[in-house]
Amino acid sequence: MHLHYIKLIARQEWNAIFRGRNTRILYFSLLAVSLLAMITGWQYVGKFNRQQATAHQQVYDQWMSQPDRHPHRVAHYGYLVFREKSPLSFFDFGLDSYVGNAVFLEAHRQNTINLSEASFSNGMLRFGELSMALVLQLLVPLLIIFIGFPTIAGLKQNGVLKILLCQRASYFDLLVGKTAGLTAAIWILFLPLILISLFVGSFFLSGKIGVDNTLRILIIVSSYAVYFLSIVLLVVGVSAVSRSAKQALMALVFGWILFIIIIPKSAQTLGSRLYEAPNKIAFEQAIEAEMSQQGDSHNPNDPHFAQLKADLLKKYGVDSVQALPLNYGAFVMKESETITSTLFNKHFDRLIGTYRSQNAVSTAFGFADPFLAIRNLSMNLSGTDFDSFTAFQQQTERYRYEKSQRLNEIHLTQIQYRNDSQQKVGADHWQRMPDFTFQPLSIAANLSAAGISLAALVCWVLAGFGALYYISTKRHFQL
């Protein structure tokens, strides 16, 4: 391999790309779409977060303005928690439009997260929303195809390839040089755009750019650089094995359809078939069935609570619940809350495990489709992936349980068992309770979840260079 000839070929390819009128038209078209996606993304996420913050403040003010009342009424009064979008979600919407944005938290019940954008939209949402990630993942590969398909096949068609191979440069030098020139052009056209938009957008939405966001942005830009390189290698490789530019174009367009539509849909279907998840009704029925075995607080003859009552009476040396130094009704509710929460978490973790197994199938297909690899990696780093939403669900359930148990504790110690419903406690008891604050996943956790996708992208690049070397050793590919 001769670096001098590779640089010369790369420079010639660079000049040829920027001289082409079609290249400029395609690039500025994509630039306009990218800027539109960027600006609308900023506006949408900013407006959405402001609405969520306003709604949260209203709910918080209503909670704090409650008068003195019975703590169990407060527990069922409930509390609404709203999910805000991450600072980088304007770049890649990911699953944000398909998952809920608000959840009502109350005692003895785990409610689902509702109010997703998909539930208020028509069927067009299934085709995806316009975002910068969508443009970079779907449309930039098309640009690479349209400016790169004649890279080698065109030289074969007009007889120039044979002349070039009579020079000192080897066929591998030619392939690497063409790859370098095309890659450099794509990188200079799009990577600065990604970098600037992410930094500006992150600052616009959060008012600052911390270390975490900075690392995320740099890794996102690097990941897209690797993705573009893998596409360029694929385009140059297909062009090299094609007998004509037309044949190369047809093969590459079919490959684009295969990577963007067929393989992702097939991976999703396969994952759902291999790991079937229960529907909402079956999920709730499974919890109720196990709860009836663990202990039903509404059943006076339930063995678990009957034994609990007997043990409690024996512990305090009394013969009736009225003589207990604590509120027996609150004690039962506290135990019931522990049982229901434990069972819910058990079944929820099992359900999440099923969904993760389904997603693992799509992740594994990243080794067969670079689009799947960059899509998963981009969502993870933007904080719009499945794990980020699951973290929100788990944190809201933990907050609900702790809040309910604190109210049960007030009920247990501050309310007497006799004339229970007629008593009240001071509002300061719940006004001192901390508000819910979502803790986003760390970048280390996101990278750990996206490790396979990152490895898949690297494998695509290594396989691409390996394929170019193999092509360069076969004489019939040079004709």
By percentage, how much of the chain surpasses pLDDT 70? 94
Residue range 29-40: mean pLDDT, rounded:
91
Give me the phi and psi of 327, to 5 degrees please. -85, 110
Give me the phi and psi of 69, to 5 degrees please. -160, 175
Looking at residue 284, what is its pLDDT?
A: 81
- Indicate if the pLDDT at residue 182 is higher than 50: yes
When the pLDDT of each residue in the chain is averaged and rounded to a whole number, the result is 88
Give 121 or 191, the one with higher predicted confidence. Answer: 191
Per-residue pLDDT tens for 117-175? 655 555 444 445 788 999 999 999 999 999 999 998 888 887 777 777 777 778 888 89
CA angle, 396 then 401 then 405, to 5°: 150
Quote the CA–CA distance of 409 and 346 in Å, as a whole number. Answer: 24
Secondary element (H or E) of residue 81 = strand 79-82
Token pair listed for 334: 């506290």
Looking at residue 327, what is its pLDDT?
A: 87
Residue 217's pLDDT band (boundaries 50, 70, 90)? Answer: very high
| Full DSSP string of 360-415 | HHHHHGGGT-HHHHHHHHHHHHHT-SHHHHHHHHHHHHHHHHHHHHHHHHHHHHHS
Quote the CA–CA distance of 387 and 448 in Å, as a whole number. Answer: 11
Residue (of 152, 9, 2, 232) closest to 479 by Cα position? 152
Looking at residue 203, what is its pLDDT?
A: 85
| Full DSSP string of 136-198 | IIIIHHHHHHHHHTHHHHHHHHTTHHHHHHTSSS-HHHHHHHHHHHHHHHHHHHHHHHHHHHH
Q: What are the beta bridge partners of residue 102?
A: 82, 114
Quote the CA–CA distance of 435 and 395 in Å, as a whole number. Answer: 12
Token pair listed for 69: 């009342």
Please answer whether residues 6 and 115 qualify as being in contact, where contact means their C-beta atoms are separated by less than 8 angstroms. no
Looking at residue 124, what is its pLDDT?
A: 45
Per-residue pLDDT tens for 321-347? 888 888 888 888 888 888 888 888 888
Q: Sketch the domain layout of the chain as residue ranges.
A: 3-478
Looking at residue 421, what is its pLDDT?
A: 81
Residue 92's pLDDT band (boundaries 50, 70, 90)? Answer: very high
Per-residue pLDDT tens for 238-257? 999 998 899 999 999 999 99
| Full DSSP string of 39-67 | HHHHHHHHHHHHHHHHHHHHHHHHHHT--
Quote the CA–CA distance of 330 and 405 in Å, as a whole number. Answer: 10
Residue 50, burial from CB neighbour count under 10 angstroms (0-12, 13-18, 19+): exposed
Instruction: Name the pTM for this structure.
Output: 0.90
